[in-house]
């Protein structure tokens, strides 16, 4: 499975931690930056993540910024993306099982590395249930 990961300046440390942890578990990781703590605009990195998912360059995505909110909104502007803001493993698993999320967003200023890894693990190990959830996910693909 190929995982794209992107962040703004507030989340570089968490991105690097997750990237290395995922690579150590055998995942192919596409690091879309940023790579330093100089101020950058989170919409640019949310867009990079969304474009990688839409183009099939990655199977799943992880978006990180200070709160997780801004980069999640930016990623979700692409209709190919269903990015859920999560803060614990239950919401990460539900994002996959009920919403077929292909990306999660985490707030680096709100969550520690251990909890972030637990969220990512739940997200990556959970399958979409389909069934009664499938028509609702299909509705998400329609323009507002």
Task: Retrieve residue 98's tokens.
Answer: 């009920």
98 is catalytic: yes
Rounded distance between C-alpha atoms, residue 46 and residue 44, angstroms: 6
β-partners of residue 47 are: none
Give yes or no for a contact between 81 and 61, defined as CB atoms under 8 angstroms apart.
yes
- Is 65 a residue of the active site? yes
- Catalytic residue (choose from 7, 65, 83, 119): 65
Which of 7, 35, 83, 98 does the annotation list as catalytic? 98
Helix, strand, or coil here: 28? strand
Q: Which residues of 3-23 are buried (b: 16+ CB within 10 A; e: fewer)?
A: bbbbbbbbbbebbebbbebbe
Known catalytic residues? 65, 98
């Amino acid at each position: 499975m190929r995982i794209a990961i992107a962040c703004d300046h507030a989340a570089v440390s968490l991105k690097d931690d997750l990237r290395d942890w995922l690579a150590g578990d055998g995942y192919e990781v596409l690091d879309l930056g940023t790579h330093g703590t100089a101020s950058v605009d989170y919409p640019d990195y949310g867009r990079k993540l969304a474009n990688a998912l839409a183009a099939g360059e990655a199977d799943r995505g992880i978006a990180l910024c200070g709160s997780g909110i801004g980069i999640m909104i930016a990623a979700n502007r692409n209709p190919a993306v269903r990015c859920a803001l999560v803060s614990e493993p239950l919401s990460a698993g539900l994002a996959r099982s009920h919403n077929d999320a292909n990306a999660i967003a985490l707030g680096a200023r709100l969550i520690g590395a251990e909890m972030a890894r637990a969220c990512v693990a739940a997200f990556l190990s959970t399958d979409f249930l389909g069934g009664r959830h499938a028509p609702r996910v299909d509705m998400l693909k329609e323009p507002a």
